[in-house]
Chain A
């Protein structure tokens, strides 16, 4: 079925904007209509600029308009990045030539070229971060302004690296442009769906197993670090998780689960729920085409999600507010954007030790709420 009911994932243009808007020192210009501008603008909560082209620019050319907007941004000291949307990318104008007198980064990632991850990766590759062999510390990657857990993830991995006495060099992509262009030679991940490919990859940080493995590597590779406090904290907090999960299992059956997210978070959620709650993972619907070691299928539209939930009939659904809208009275935990309808002020992680704690806390509380509601009705 080529058509798509209620598409659930943003386009490549939005992904490119998410990547570049995370680089402070970059002025991002969306070259297209006001409609294309407003969506990333409301979603990213970051300053964006637009050319807001009109019909006459489509007919007579958009060069004057584009140069006008770029001219108004010159002198800020920021590097300018222009992202083309669907219409300008097919107009046949040589945007690259138009921009040649200026130091402007051009990202051609129209919506029809694919999904968010494609645009994010393209924008990051065009930035061309070059590893600085003399730079101290470790990079953190996988940060994306579209991900509601991104800020929390970065804070948490920062905290753990500080605990291990390791400085953070660059956060890809939520950092100054200077840091992004000159990262260190090793990188630790928070969300592989937005992996940077920059430097040597030390491993991910989703789930306590990954945190343990990745920090072991840090201890082996970086003299002068002390990963002992990180391991001690893993042990202490894992005991608390096990205690709470065992207590839950004393009263209730393990939950059956349907997971909807990108590949990286889906794998984390499935592994964690199986490990601590003996949960039955009934289905995984992926928003993207990322790599996952479990059975999963692509579910990019609401009707596919609805069918999967109806077929799997799970106790617990993980996903976005789209899934929450159709999962009726089942327990629900937010895992991917958008998470609308909730007030979310504090940065919450999924990565690191606190990420697992926070995730399991949400799962246990929502499952208990639903069980109690059912038993009292």
Chain B
């Protein structure tokens, strides 16, 4: 049963800018995020972030404060409610305060930037995230990352490789990180900071020290470009999706860092062959792809794995349905194949 029966699936359903930005700012552990708007907006997001945190075994509770606008604030303006909230939060032991706006606040015309520009004992950073007025979920992520990157200064190269814009709401965020960290280790490289995942403001000051940034997703290219302009750090546009893409990814990192990647590619090829050998029982099956996403990269990765295992994929809706999800690296493909086995042997 498809629960989302929205009649118009379009760019309108790109998600809330506020949620995107909060998925970043709440991972700065010594800062507080203020949501300037009604309590409901803060609850929606707190509940979502808490749920995904539980799914990812994160013990830390996101620190959100709502300016709790009521009907009278909507009529007479909410700037003083925001100022009061910022002052109350500044009394805590925090390194910074992020102020995120909501749809209603931009509609009534509150000047959030002006309120944030007043004197406070800690940095108060406004991020314009006015729901649909601010764009979509990804815009919120990008705005928050760029706002946070502005806090770091250029510094000496430490030879590390940074992770940029991990999808903190993704169920397998830790597994995807571990896969890229494994690949870096294979190349003799040291993983740098996770910008922004479970990090402190101090750690963000190391942002400009990396020799390479790896973006989680091509939609983060504007962030990659910003970091390149600010710190001179080159970037790769995405985590790898699928078997051959992982091999190319290793070569790209090696090329960017000026090292020889042949040995690492050889080890990875052997690992992929070993994994495929474990799934030869799936050969000669008939199947049809299914899944919540149909992005070309995931589809290509799934088709490549199916071809390697001689699984015949067609459009016959009576055939076994093979779930296609975005997969990262060789380990992601292996987990997908386990789900395929469950489906084909059902």
Q: Is there an interface contact between A35 and B19, defined as CB atoms closer than 8 Å? A: yes
- Which of A41, A55, A87 lies in contact with B3, CB distance below 8 A? A41
Q: Is A54 an interface residue (CB 8 A)?
A: yes
From A41, which residue of chain B is reached at the shortest CB distance?
B4
* Known contacts A47-B3, A112-B70, A12 near B40 by CB under 8 Å: yes
- Which of B7, B43, B67 lies in contact with A3, CB distance below 8 A? B67
**Complex Cα–Cα for A300 and B43 (A):** 10
**Complex Cα–Cα for A45 and B4 (A):** 9
**A180 → B minimal CB distance (Å):** 21
The listed residue with most A CB atoms (<10 A of its CB), out of B17, B55, B74, is B74
- Which of B5, B14, B71 lies in contact with A113, CB distance below 8 A? B71
Q: Is there an interface contact between A8 and B71, defined as CB atoms closer than 8 Å? A: no
* Known contacts A4-B66, A7-B68, A302-B61, A52 near B38 by CB under 8 Å: no
A-side contacts of B88, CB under 8 Å: 1, 3
Q: Is B290 an interface residue (CB 8 A)?
A: no
Stretch of B45-53, B172-180, B209-217 contacting A (4+ beta carbons < 8 Å): B45-53
A-side contacts of B70, CB under 8 Å: 112
B-side contacts of A338, CB under 8 Å: 47, 50-51
* Known contacts A1-B88, A4-B42, A111-B38, A73 near B7 by CB under 8 Å: yes
From A43, which residue of chain B is reached at the shortest CB distance?
B47
**Complex Cα–Cα for A7 and B81 (A):** 16
- Which of B8, B71, B74, B131 lies in contact with A33, CB distance below 8 A? B131
From B103, which residue of chain A is reached at the shortest CB distance?
A87
Q: Mark A1-35, 1 if CB is under 8 A from B, else 0.
A: 11111111111111000000000000000001111
Q: Is there an interface contact between A91 and B51, defined as CB atoms closer than 8 Å? A: no
* Known contacts A49-B7, A54-B132, A7 near B66 by CB under 8 Å: yes
Q: Is B339 an interface residue (CB 8 A)?
A: no
Interface residues on B, range: 35 or more
- Which of B7, B37, B38, B61 lies in contact with A325, CB distance below 8 A? B61
- Which of A4, A5, A52 lies in contact with B12, CB distance below 8 A? A52
Q: Is there an interface contact between B66 and A52, defined as CB atoms closer than 8 Å? A: no
A-side contacts of B18, CB under 8 Å: 35
Q: Is there an interface contact between B5 and A47, defined as CB atoms closer than 8 Å? A: yes
* Known contacts A6-B46, A11-B43, A38 near B15 by CB under 8 Å: yes
- Which of B14, B42, B104 lies in contact with A6, CB distance below 8 A? B42
Tally of contact residues, A, Cβ under 8 A: 57
**Complex Cα–Cα for A52 and B33 (A):** 25
B-side contacts of A346, CB under 8 Å: none
B-side contacts of A41, CB under 8 Å: 3-4
Q: Is there an interface contact between B41 and A111, defined as CB atoms closer than 8 Å? A: yes
From B82, which residue of chain A is reached at the shortest CB distance?
A3
**A19 → B minimal CB distance (Å):** 16
A-side contacts of B63, CB under 8 Å: 5-6
* Known contacts A72-B8, A111-B38, A112-B40, A322 near B132 by CB under 8 Å: no
Q: Mark B21-32, 1 if CB is under 8 A from A, else 0.
A: 000000000000
**Complex Cα–Cα for A41 and B104 (A):** 20
Q: Mark B128-140, 1 if CB is under 8 A from A, else 0.
A: 0001110010000
Q: Is B156 an interface residue (CB 8 A)?
A: no
Q: Is there an interface contact between A322 and B40, defined as CB atoms closer than 8 Å? A: no
Q: Is there an interface contact between B50 and A4, defined as CB atoms closer than 8 Å? A: no
**Complex Cα–Cα for A32 and B54 (A):** 29
**A166 → B minimal CB distance (Å):** 32
Q: Is B62 an interface residue (CB 8 A)?
A: yes
Q: Is B318 an interface residue (CB 8 A)?
A: no
Q: Is A53 an interface residue (CB 8 A)?
A: yes
Q: Is there an interface contact between B7 and A72, defined as CB atoms closer than 8 Å? A: yes
**Complex Cα–Cα for A14 and B40 (A):** 9
A-side contacts of B104, CB under 8 Å: 86-87, 90, 112
Q: Is there an interface contact between A10 and B8, defined as CB atoms closer than 8 Å? A: no
**Complex Cα–Cα for A275 and B103 (A):** 49
Interface CB pairs A-B, < 8 A, 28: A2-B67, A3-B65, A3-B66, A3-B67, A3-B88, A4-B65, A6-B46, A8-B43, A10-B40, A11-B38, A11-B40, A11-B41, A14-B40, A34-B13, A34-B16, A34-B136, A37-B6, A37-B13, A41-B3, A41-B4, A43-B47, A46-B3, A52-B12, A52-B13, A72-B7, A86-B102, A322-B61, A340-B50
A300-B39, A325-B50 given. 16 additional CB < 8 A pairs?
A: A3-B66, A3-B68, A5-B64, A6-B61, A11-B44, A33-B16, A38-B16, A41-B3, A52-B132, A58-B133, A72-B8, A86-B38, A86-B74, A111-B40, A112-B71, A341-B54
Interface residues of B (CB under 8 A from A): 3-8, 10, 12-19, 37-44, 46-48, 50-51, 54-55, 59, 61-71, 73-74, 81, 84-85, 88-89, 102-104, 107-108, 131-133, 136
Name the 10 nearest CB pairs between A and B, nearest first: A11-B40, A35-B16, A111-B40, A52-B12, A33-B132, A341-B54, A39-B44, A112-B38, A3-B85, A7-B43
